[in-house]
Amino acid sequence: MPEFLTLLPPDDARSLLLANVIAPLPASQTIETDSALGRVTAEDVIAPHPLPAFPRSTVDGYAVRARDSYGASDSLPGYLTLIGEVPMGAAPTLTLSHAQCALIHTGGMLPPGANAVIMLEYTQSARPGEIEIQRAVAEGENVIRVGEDVTQNQVVIPRGIRIRPAEMGGLMALGIQKLRVSNKVRVALISSGDEVIPPSQIPQPGQVRDINSYTLAALVTQAGGEPVFYGIVPDSFEALRLTAARALTDCDMVIITAGSSASTRDMTADVIAALGEPGVLVHGINTRPGKPTILGACAGKAVIGLPGNPVSALVNGYLFVVPVIEKLLGIPEGRPKPSVKATLTVNLASQTGREDWQPVKLLATPGGWQAEPIFGKSNLIFSLAAADGLIKIHPDANGISAGAVVDVFLMQ
């Protein structure tokens, strides 16, 4: 197809695609917080009270008035009167006065009059009812003040944030039992090709099992979407058009695998063009793997044609499918992706002007991570399954030399 002769850089192609995807405020639902891991907040989360709600000790030791400890040292210890112990899980019933202290445990509530805690290891019992202190503490030392973590009415989690374990803990600390989250993005998955069969069947000569529907479904799920399977469509323009039209009506975006290369049998671009305006935006990306990727938009919804080769489909799923899902979820563009720095073990060649993505395996060494390239053709899925991440070779480079420190984008 003529569009295939014009190859856009991946960044430009992605920007063009996202610019044509209409993303209104995502539809949302209220769910139980304990099931919110991986979901995206649909509104700002406001702290209903300060955290902590009372001053508490961060160590085991003695609650004191800081000024009563001034001047104390190993050679010249100070002495304080022990007036009791702070109970765990309850408010203290005692109040500190001049030269007094109270035994307190980690997490215990500071009694009135106290403003610091001396760690247990800097003290010893001098005589019954008296504690020897061997160092001074400053006001607030070993103490978390009221609201030091979070103040009341503070925005603790903005809208558009994916909930991780840390956010889960924070929400529970504030007693937030229900959370408003964006609905999962419904992503239609269509495989095409007379040679493609379900994984449950035994391939006959010339047939291949459908891999892409399942790798992409996993990627969609991980990104916060809901994969919707539309099965395997034969090499028929009308069959593919009807299936894609139904998927476009039912779902938020459509992915068609196979049928994206410049061949007389491949009709994905024609089907996308027939689904609505503006249709095909890009047919051909200046990248490897996945050069024949098609990016389209129909009535504000993304329709993406990915190559049939599993490695190409999955790598370009990371590059183009995930950003669309994140936009539809309300996640701000440009959020950092997990990566590690590693030393490349061998030279990597590349074609100047083309962006390459190279799978690598990470090797732990005393000097840090090493990135060992995994070489394989784009139809060999286990070459990608053996990889921990991908290295991007910039289009203005003709390769990367062994020993160079590279960023490895982790495939999680």
Is residue 287 in some structural domain?
A: yes
For residues 291 and 217, state if they share a domain.
yes
For residues 212 and 302, state if they share a domain.
yes
| Domain total in the chain | 4
Give Dmax (Cα) for the chain.
Answer: 96
Residue where a domain stops, chosen among 285, 306, 329: 329
For residues 228 and 91, state if they share a domain.
no
Q: Is the peptide bond before 205 cis (omega within 30 degrees of 0)?
A: no
For residues 10 and 80, state if they share a domain.
no
For residues 205 and 324, state if they share a domain.
yes
For residues 204 and 262, state if they share a domain.
yes
The three-state secondary structure class of 303 is strand
Q: Residue 369 maps to which CATH number? A: 2.40.340.10
Cα gap 48→24, rounded to integer Å: 29
For residues 293 and 314, state if they share a domain.
yes
For residues 160 and 189, state if they share a domain.
no
Is residue 334 in some structural domain?
A: no
User: Tens digit of pLDDT per residue, the chain (412 long)?
Assistant: 444 457 899 999 999 999 999 988 889 999 999 999 999 999 999 999 999 999 999 999 999 999 999 999 999 999 999 999 999 999 999 999 999 999 999 999 999 999 999 999 999 998 999 999 999 999 999 999 999 999 999 999 999 999 999 999 999 999 999 999 999 999 999 999 888 999 999 999 988 899 999 999 999 999 999 999 999 999 899 999 999 999 999 999 999 998 555 553 468 999 999 999 999 999 999 999 988 999 999 999 999 999 988 999 999 999 999 999 999 999 998 888 899 999 999 999 988 889 999 999 999 999 999 999 998 876 778 888 899 999 999 998 889 999 999 999 998 7
For residues 283 and 384, state if they share a domain.
no
Is residue 262 in some structural domain?
A: yes
Rounded to two decimals, what is the model's pTM?
Answer: 0.87
Q: Which domain holds residue 353?
A: 339-410
For residues 296 and 194, state if they share a domain.
yes
Is residue 166 in some structural domain?
A: yes
Residue where a domain stops, chosen among 116, 144, 172: 144
**297, containing H or E segment:** strand 294-298
Cα gap 246→229, rounded to integer Å: 12
For residues 299 and 177, state if they share a domain.
no
Q: Residue 170 maps to which CATH number? A: 3.90.105.10
Cα gap 337→18, rounded to integer Å: 18
Q: Is the peptide bond before 323 cis (omega within 30 degrees of 0)?
A: no
